[in-house]
Amino acid sequence: MEGKAFSLAILVIAEVAAMATWFATTASLGAIRAHWSLSPFQEALLTSSVQAGFVVGTLASALLSLADRADLRTLFSASALVAALANGAILLFEPTHPAVAVLRFITGMCMAGVYPVGMKLAATWAKGDLGLLIGMLVAALTLGSASPHAMAALGGLDWRAPVAGAAASALVAALLIRFAQVGPNHAKAPPLRLSNALDAFRRPALRLANLGYFGHMWELYAMWAWIGAFLAASFRLRYGEAPPFDPRLATFAVVAVGAVGALGGGFMADRMGRTFVTALSMAISGLCAAGIGLLFGASPLVLLPVALVWGVSVVSDSAQFSAAVTELSDRSLVGTMLTVQTCVGFLITLVSIHLLPYAVDLLGWRHAFLMLAIGPFLGVLAMARLRLRPEAATMAGGRR
């Protein structure tokens, strides 16, 4: 019962449950708009405050090497518990109250003790299947991030439904993770040096892997944050106020299908190479970002297949950047390197999430997503350069 399969199953379930807090207010945006007037900045803040909190949390964690020095299960459990309490406290305020952004910021800080810590915990069990294991964690993150959209649809126009559901879900995660075990690949904790975090940029191969990830992140969370608004506006343009099905369920499907991409990307990368899978994924997702706006207002029979392809490809490479960093790092600093990677990556998401609504105002939905294609394009170039470096032979059993 305490072996690899059991511990990984517990970890995946706990990750899904904890990550439900990330988009809890974003999923409620339609219901909030029905009763309150929000500026584009306020709308973006419902998501970006979480990203900002995550950046601060991961920065502190990286400088203190917490993911390499603390007990992984305790750190995960405490973080999920505080996230549950912060998310639950949102229900005490109206969604436009400044306290909501503060509580979302706290939630984001707590996710720094969940997401990279979960990846480190999964990596302790890796044996020739690192890409797939971290892919499982990213699939869990994807399902957790998608779940509030389903909660919002089931809750009708009550904005509190996904918030309350996410808080309860994170509480379950805090309890459940205690049953998982740490695998045999857990290295001895490194000495505490604030300069440890700089390894992510000092080593050329690590730097290229991180640059690829940063291009990927420019696209990913802005897509997840705004694809629901895009689909709702597209359905409204075509059908008015009576679409054939709820756009929130369509949004759930588009985000949740990324779990298939994360698992498939992990399976392929362990066999075909990290740089190949990441470059291919970014090429496909970048084309989707550039082209999906041309289908704005089109029949869902045409629009949704493209959105689903985007949903798969936009996250199918995510775990492989983390796997690459795990393989290219000093073993004693894996947790720190993963934390630095996610810290900078999520800092970048703050920019793209806030810029996109202004792009919509300036260019309309038909062209707004074009700005997201810049990230994957630059990411492909970084992966092509990494593939040529000798250190790339250490990834995926020599498959680069």
- DSSP for 330-366, please give it: -GGGHHHHHHHHHHHHHHHHHHHHHHHHHHHHHH-HH
User: What's the confidence (pLDDT) of residue 376?
Assistant: 94
User: What's the confidence (pLDDT) of residue 249?
Assistant: 86
Q: Which one-letter amino acid corresponds to residue 145? A: S
User: What's the confidence (pLDDT) of residue 71?
Assistant: 85
- C-alpha 391/C-alpha 344 separation (Å) is 22
Number of Cβ within a 10 Å radius of residue 4: 16
User: What's the confidence (pLDDT) of residue 98?
Assistant: 86
More confident residue, 71 or 144: 71
User: What's the confidence (pLDDT) of residue 2?
Assistant: 58
Q: Which one-letter amino acid corresponds to residue 250? A: A
Tell me the mean pLDDT in the region 324-345. 80
User: Do 107 and 87 form a contact (C-beta atoms < 8 A)?
Assistant: yes
Residue 188, pLDDT > 70, answer no
Three-state SS sequence of 68-126: HHCCHHHHHHHHHHHHHHHHHHHHHCCCCCHHHHHHHHHHHHHHCCCHHHHHHHHHCCC
| Band of pLDDT at residue 190, cut at 50, 70 and 90 | low
Minimal CA–CA distance to 169: which of 100, 250, 107?
107
Tell me the mean pLDDT in the region 49-78. 84
The CA radius of gyration of the chain, in Å to the nearest whole number, is 20
More confident residue, 217 or 318: 217
| Percent of the chain's residues with pLDDT above 70 | 91
pLDDT in tens, 123-169: 888 777 777 787 877 887 787 777 766 766 665 567 788 888 889 99
Minimal CA–CA distance to 337: which of 135, 125, 116?
116
Q: What does the angle CA 67 – CA 69 – CA 71 come to, to the nearest 5 degrees? A: 75
Residue 186, pLDDT > 80, answer no
Residue 35, pLDDT > 80, answer no
Q: The tokens of 228 are what?
A: 């629901």
Tell me the mean pLDDT in the region 364-390. 93
User: What's the confidence (pLDDT) of residue 1?
Assistant: 41
Tell me the mean pLDDT in the region 262-289. 90
Q: What is the mean pLDDT of the chain?
A: 84
Tell me the mean pLDDT in the region 228-241. 89
Instruction: Write down the pTM of the prediction.
Output: 0.76
| Band of pLDDT at residue 175, cut at 50, 70 and 90 | very high
Least confident window among 19-33, 116-130, 298-312 = 19-33
- C-alpha 269/C-alpha 370 separation (Å) is 27
User: What's the confidence (pLDDT) of residue 157?
Assistant: 61
